[in-house]
């Protein structure tokens, strides 16, 4: 054990002295994780995007439309522009005709037009026009998601009005009024209140949907349902889309709004994307680091270092074990460091399951170490080892899902991916960090990683001995 | 100290050591002289337990050398033929690693490191990375890395390849001092000057076989002549060299011919021929032959061929 410790310490000192190796192992992946975080829109802070210029033209006299404009103003993500700049600091209201040239001039990339017929007579739903220059796809998605959120959560009575208008067209005026009146009377009978007031509320399009997402401010507006206000949507441990218990309209709406936030705004810190991004780059650069240190086997053989070590009271087994422990140690430190960086950048919940994370990282590092030994075992020299490892690491990272989700790839590639260390390591990271699996639930993945390690190590040691690496 | 009994080692079809028997006494400085590929390093690796022989036995102080038994190796120090050091680490860090592998630690290890660095004049460079050392400095460090644990038998495999004269002298002085202190040394080289200077007994080895073994004087008596005659290689002397072909061997190296006469050749005949060609006697110097001549006599080749 003392011999192994000395050898591991030596490997660590050797690694730390090699600045290129250190930065390739730690700094480069952190930089890439940061850069790709921007690409995937993970870097937005909790307040989300802010100050995206948004042209707004309101051609409707419907009070709901004015409310919608106010709601857009209130959304910090947008900087709402409703005026057109004239010479001499004068302004006039923005018109629909101004929008297209303005977008072309890049004054803003998004505009909303609320037309006169925002509530249509002949169709259910709202009529809005959204003009955009989608030069930045992520931004377009963010903006359209935010618009949906504002519309759904702030002015649901516009939708109600639309339903009312449709009902009116369908039933005819007399029967429509009758229907609303009997509805209001039924409500007043069951829940109390003034039937005339309720009927007016219904005709204004308020179906109570706004009450579901806002605290009831006006007690005169009675709720149509009798469920308590929806609890604040707290994502239950790990799973994003936990169904709320009673399937009611209010829950349905709060859930809809919440889902929009997660997918579009990318606020969800535990998103599988961040875990995948960090885990993917981490495992790829770990493979590079470890196969690099395995290529150094050839130097150690050629310079007679193995001879020197083995002529001391050191056995081959101790030499191999020391490399194995060193690989695991390097891997653990590197993976944990990168996940900590992921925690700083994207709030990945590293400490929530730290013990399990350590176990998965150790198993992944062991598998990567066996891969490094395999490279040294099957290559005739250091150059070949470097070439082969670069090739294999790239292929394994691509097919194993380190760069993008496996689901984006053709099925046969997904199948290949399942044979890689990368795939199973990523599965392990996702299982711990995203799904919050318990140790017992992790056992299958750990088993696969341990299996890979054992088989690949056995083949490598057999081959290393066969080609007299340690003589 | 070290005994080899009919040791044979093959690499596939190639026989690197062929039925070699040797006995090296405690306190000896034993030379292994032979050209590249003679089997010197192979012998070293067998003696240090890195490989097992295909036939025969090796013992150190009576105990069999076994790759499986690392504890038997504490009596032994190996200076590999190449510079077996961690380039990225400092001199001191390297020594610390190798010392610890032999179980040294603490004050004792520190004292040994200080002492040995001093002995080869590297004390002031102890914190520098080995990759910034000159070839000679690396060789000196390569040597002391095998000595920290104070072995009783030191195997030096061509420890001076590619070093400057100053480093070579430092290495020689240190080895001589250690040898006087009782250390048994096996020193392999293809430089006959080194073997001549350092070693009490020398084995001449070629193609895995020991061709001759003995002290320098014993080896020289194997030659059929007692003196060889050297003269500059010029167009005028080339004619003489050509005439002498049947009377002995002409070796031409570094602008000089050396004439090694056959046993029955009389030197008066040599000078008569030179005079006939009009070559003045001051061109010629008689000298005691070297191990080079012995090797040539035994193999028909020079050591550097
Ligand atoms: N590991 C090896 N595999 C195959 N052949 C080898 C190996 N090591 C040495 N040889 C061959 O064995 C012979 C003796 O080599 P070596 O002991 O290194 O000679 P020396 O040290 O005297 O130069 C050479 O022909 C060399 O090519
Ligand atoms: Mg050699």
Return the CATH number at B270. 3.30.70
Would you say the CB of residue B86 lies under 6 angstroms from ligand 1? no
Q: So what's the pLDDT on residue A220?
A: 38
Give the residue-averaged pLDDT of A54-76. 84
Instruction: Report residue A213's pLDDT band, with 50, 70 and 90 as the boundaries.
Output: very low
In-domain check, residue B296: no
- Res. A206: pLDDT tops 70: no
| Residue A192 sits in the same domain as residue A294 | no
Q: What is the percent of chain A with per-residue pLDDT over 90, rounded to a whole number?
A: 27
Q: Contact, B1 vs B61, CB < 8 A? A: yes
Q: What is the tally of structural domains in chain B? A: 2
pLDDT exceeds 60 at position A310: yes
From B233, B199, B235, B229, select the one nearest B216 (Cα to Cα): B199
d(CA A411, CA A341): 33
Same domain (yes/no): A294, A252: no
Q: Do residues B158 and B50 both lie within one domain?
A: yes
- Cα-flanking dihedrals φ and ψ of residue B226, to 5°? -100, -25
> Do A305 and A359 have their domain in common?
yes
Q: Do A277 and A170 lie in a common domain?
A: no
Any domain includes B111: yes
Instruction: Provide the 8-state DSSP code for B156.
Output: E
Domain membership of residue A11 (yes or no) is no
Mean pLDDT, chain B, whole residue set: 89
Q: Between A77 and B97, where is the model more confident?
A: B97
User: Each residue of A122-148: pLDDT tens digit?
Assistant: 666 677 788 877 766 667 777 777 877
Give yes or no: residues A403 and A378 share one domain.
yes
Q: Are residues B174 and B283 in the same domain?
A: no
| B291 min Cα distance to partner chain A (Å) | 29
Looking at the fold, whether B206 and B233 belong to one and the same domain comes out as: no
- Tokens 């080194």: give the residue: B194
Query: Would you say residue A402 has pLDDT above 50?
Result: yes
One DSSP character per residue, A292-332 reads: HHHHHHHHHHHTTHHHHHHHSS--HHHHHHHHHHHHHHHHH
Among B45, B85, B102, whose Cβ lies nearest the Cβ of A307?
A: B45
Task: Establish how many alpha carbons lie within 13 A of residue A207's alpha carbon, considering only the half-sphere containing its beta carbon.
Answer: 14
Domain check: are B157 and B282 in the same one? no
Q: What is the pLDDT of residue A48?
A: 56
CB A335 within 8 A of CB A365: yes
Task: Examine residue A312 and state whether it is found in any structural domain, yes or no.
Answer: yes
* Minimal C-alpha gap between B208 and chain A (Å): 19
* Cα end-to-end span (Å), chain B: 33
A383 part of a folded domain: yes
Cα–Cα distance for residue pair B164/A440, rounded to 1 Å: 65
The separation between CA A96 and the C-alpha centre of its own chain, rounded to angstroms, equals 36
Last residue of a domain, one of B171, B201, B220: B220
pLDDT of residue B148: 94
Where a domain ends, among B160, B195, B220?
B220
Mean pLDDT of B242-264: 83
Residue B86: closest CA among chain A residues belongs to which residue?
A14
Residue B21 phi/psi, 5-degree rounding, is -125, 135
Instruction: Clarify whether residues A201 and A340 are in a common domain.
Output: no
pLDDT at residue number A99: 84
Cβ atoms of B201 and B174 within 8 Å: the answer is no
Q: Is the dihedral of CA B96, B97, B99, B104 positive or negative?
A: positive
Optimal mutation site among B49, B84, B144, interface A, most CBs of chain A within 10 A: B84
Q: Higher confidence at residue B300 or residue B163?
A: B163
A228 in a structural domain: no
Query: Do A293 and A420 fall into the same domain?
Result: yes
**Domain-located, residue A37:** no
Q: Which of residues 72-111 of B touch A (CB under 8 A)?
A: 73-74, 76-78, 80-86, 88-89, 93, 97-98, 100-103
pLDDT band at A207 (very low <50, low <70, confident <90, very high): low
Chain B residues within an 8 Å CB radius of A314: 70, 101
Ligand 1: distance of its center to the CA of B46 in Å? 12
Q: Is the pTM of this model over 0.95?
A: no
**Residue B257: strand pairing partners:** B231, B252
Provide the residue range defining the domain that includes A366.
272-466
Burial class of residue B35 (count of CB atoms within 10 Å of its CB; 0-12, 13-18, 19+)? middle
Atom of ligand 1 nearest to the CA of B157: 21
Chain segment A270-280, per-residue pLDDT in tens: 566 788 888 89
φ, ψ for residue B248 (rounded to 5)? 170, -155
| Domain match, B146 and B197 both | yes
Indicate whether B13 pLDDT > 50: yes
Q: Mutation target for B interface from A308, A315, A316, A470: give the one with most B CBs within 10 A.
A: A308
Write down the pLDDT at residue B97: 95
B196 in the same domain as B92: yes
If asked whether residues B136 and B195 sit together in one domain, one would say: yes
Please write the tens of the pLDDT for every residue from B18-53: 999 999 999 999 999 999 999 999 999 999 888 889
Residue from A313, A316, A466, A470 to probe the interface with B (highest B Cβ count within 10 Å): A313
Q: Are A164 and A283 members of one domain?
A: no
DSSP label at residue A244: P
Shared-domain flag, residues A212 and A319: no
Question: What CATH number does the domain containing B137 carry?
Answer: 3.40.50.300
User: What is residue A333's predicted lDDT score, i.e. its pLDDT?
Assistant: 95
Among B42, B186, B188, residue to substitute to test ligand 1 (most atoms within 8 Å of Cβ)? B42
Does residue A229 register a pLDDT over 70? no
- Is the shortest distance between the CB of B45 and ligand 1 below 6 Å? no
Residues B99 and B236 in one domain: no
Q: Is the CB of B45 inside 8 Å of chain A's CB atoms?
A: yes
- Does residue A432 form part of some domain? yes
Look-up: residue for tokens 């001051």? B282
- Tens of pLDDT, residue by residue over B90-142, are 999 999 999 999 999 999 999 999 999 999 999 999 999 999 999 999 999 99
Is the pLDDT assigned to residue A294 strictly greater than 90?
A: no
A309/B82 Cβ within 8 A:
no
ipTM, 2 dp: 0.86
A297 and A191 within one domain: no
**Partner residue opposite A313 with nearest CB, options B74, B81, B82:** B74
Over the range A155-187, which residues count as b (16 or more CB within 10 Å of their CB) and which as e? bbbbbbbbebbbebeeeeeeebeeebbeebeeb
State which residues form the domain around B96. Answer: 2-220
Query: Are both B136 and B233 inside the same structural domain?
Result: no
Sequence-ordered list of residues with C-beta below 8 angstroms from that of B197, at least 6 positions apart, any chain = B172
- Nearest Cα of chain A lies from the Cα of B146 at a distance, in angstroms, of 8
pLDDT at A252: 37
Q: Is residue A57 part of a domain?
A: yes
Check CB contact under 8 Å for A307 and B97. Answer: no
A130 reaches B (C-beta below 8 A): no
Nearest ligand 1 atom to alpha carbon B45: 17
- Considering only CA atoms, which residue is closest to atom 5 of ligand 1? B11
Indicate if the pLDDT at residue A311 is higher than 50. yes
Q: Is A423 left (phi over 0), alpha (psi -120 to 50) or beta?
A: alpha
Question: Does residue B14's CB lie within 6 angstroms of at least one atom of ligand 1?
Answer: yes
Ligand 1 atom with minimal separation from the B190 CA: 22
Domain count, chain A: 2
The number of CA neighbours under 13 Å toward the Cβ of B58 is 28
How much distance in Å is there from the Cα of A381 to the middle of ligand 1? 18
Instruction: Tell whether B114 is covered by a domain.
Output: yes
Interfacial A residues in 12-41 facing B (CB < 8 Å): 13-14, 17-18
Q: Is the same domain home to A145 and A196? A: yes
Residue of A18, A302, A471 lying closest to B82 (CB–CB): A302
Ligand nearest, relative to CA of residue B20: 1
B258 close to B228: Cβ distance less than 8 angstroms? yes
Please tell me whether residues B211 and B261 are part of one structural domain. Answer: no
For chain A, how big is the Rg over CA atoms in Å? 31
Q: Which of B182, B199, B220 is the last residue of a domain?
A: B220
Same domain, B200 and B104: yes
Chain A contact set for B186 (CB, 8 A)? none
Assess whether B188 and B114 both reside in one domain. yes
Is A427 found in the same domain as A278?
Answer: yes
Please tell me the distance in Å from A382's CA to the nearest CA on chain B. Answer: 17
DSSP 8-class letter at B285 = E
């Amino acid at each position: 054990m003392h011999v192994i410790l000395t050898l591991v310490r030596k490997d660590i000192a050797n690694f730390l002295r090699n600045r290129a190796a250190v930065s390739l192992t730690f700094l480069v992946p952190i930089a890439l994780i940061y850069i790709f975080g921007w690409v995937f829109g993970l870097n937005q802070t909790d307040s989300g995007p802010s100050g995206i210029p948004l042209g707004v033209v309101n051609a409707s006299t419907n009070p709901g439309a004015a409310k919608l404009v106010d709601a857009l103003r209130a959304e910090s993500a947008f900087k709402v522009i409703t005026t057109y700049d004239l010479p001499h600091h004068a302004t006039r209201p923005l018109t629909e005709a101004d929008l297209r040239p303005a977008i072309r001039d890049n004054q803003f990339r998004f505009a909303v037009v609320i037309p006169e017929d925002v509530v249509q007579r002949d169709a259910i739903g709202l009529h809005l026009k959204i003009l955009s220059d989608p030069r930045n796809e992520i931004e377009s998605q963010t903006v359209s998601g935010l618009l949906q959120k504002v519309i759904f959560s702030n002015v649901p009575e516009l939708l109600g009005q639309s339903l009312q208008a449709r009902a009116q067209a369908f039933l005819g005026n007399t029967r429509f009024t009758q229907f609303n009146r009997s509805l209001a009377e039924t409500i007043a009978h069951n829940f109390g209140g003034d039937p005339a007031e309720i009927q007016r509320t219904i005709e204004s399009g308020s179906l109570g949907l706004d009450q579901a997402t806002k605290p009831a401010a006006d007690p005169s507006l009675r709720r149509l349902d009798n469920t308590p206000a929806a609890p604040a949507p707290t994502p239950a441990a790990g799973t994003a889309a936990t169904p709320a218990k009673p399937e009611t309209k209010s829950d349905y709406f709060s859930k809809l709004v919440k889902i929009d936030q997660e997918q579009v705004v990318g606020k969800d810190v535990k998103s599988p994307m961040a875990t995948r991004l960090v885990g993917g780059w981490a495992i790829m650069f770990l493979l590079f680091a470890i196969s690099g240190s395995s290529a150094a086997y050839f130097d150690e053989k050629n310079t007679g270092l193995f001879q020197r070590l083995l002529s001391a009271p050191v056995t081959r087994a101790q030499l191999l074990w020391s490399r194995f422990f060193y690989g695991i140690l390097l891997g653990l430190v590197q993976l944990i460091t990168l996940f900590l960086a992921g925690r700083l950048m994207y709030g990945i919940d590293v400490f929530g399951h730290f013990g399990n994370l350590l176990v998965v990282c150790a198993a992944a590092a062991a598998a990567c170490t066996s891969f490094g030994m395999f490279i040294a075992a099957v290559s005739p020299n250091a150059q070949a080892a470097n070439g082969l490892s670069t090739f294999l690491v790239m292929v394994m990272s691509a097919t194993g899902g380190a760069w993008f989700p496996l689901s984006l790839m053709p099925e046969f590639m997904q199948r290949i991916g399942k044979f890689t260390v990368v795939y199973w390591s990523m599965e392990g990271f996702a299982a711990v960090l995203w799904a919050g699996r318990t140790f017992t639930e992790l056992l299958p993945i750990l088993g696969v990683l341990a299996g890979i390690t054992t088989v690949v190590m056995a083949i490598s040691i057999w081959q290393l001995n066969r080609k007299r690496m340690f003589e | 100290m070290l005994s080899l009994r009919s040791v044979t080692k093959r690499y596939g079809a190639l026989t690197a050591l062929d039925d070699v028997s040797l006995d090296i006494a405690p306190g000896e400085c034993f030379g292994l002289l032979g050209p590249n590929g003679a089997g010197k390093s192979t012998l070293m690796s067998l003696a240090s337990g890195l490989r097992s022989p295909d036939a025969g036995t090796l013992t150190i102080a009576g105990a069999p050398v076994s790759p499986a038994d690392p504890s038997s190796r504490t009596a032994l120090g190996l200076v590999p033929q190449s510079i077996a050091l961690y380039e990225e680490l400092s001199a001191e860090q390297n020594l610390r690693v190798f010392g610890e592998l032999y179980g040294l630690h603490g004050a004792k290890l520190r004292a040994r490191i200080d002492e040995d660095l001093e002995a080869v004049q590297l004390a002031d460079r102890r914190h520098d990375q080995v990759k910034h050392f000159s070839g000679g400095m690396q060789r000196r460090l390569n040597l002391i890395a095998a000595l920290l644990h104070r072995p009783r038998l030191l195997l030096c495999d061509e420890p001076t390849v590619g070093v400057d004269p100053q480093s070579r002298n430092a290495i020689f002085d240190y080895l001589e001092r250690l040898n006087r202190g009782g250390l048994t040394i096996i020193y392999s080289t293809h430089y006959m000057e080194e073997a001549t200077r350092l070693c009490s007994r020398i084995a001449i080895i070629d193609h895995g076989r020991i061709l001759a073994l003995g002290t320098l004087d014993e080896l020289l008596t194997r030659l059929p002549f007692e003196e060889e005659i050297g003269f500059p290689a010029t167009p005028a002397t080339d004619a003489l060299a050509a005439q002498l072909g049947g009377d002995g061997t002409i070796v031409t190296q570094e602008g000089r011919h050396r004439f090694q006469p056959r046993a029955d050749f009389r030197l008066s005949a040599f000078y008569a021929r030179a005079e006939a060609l009009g070559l003045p006697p001051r061109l010629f110097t008689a000298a005691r032959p070297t191990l080079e001549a012995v090797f040539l006599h035994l193999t028909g080749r020079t050591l550097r061929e």
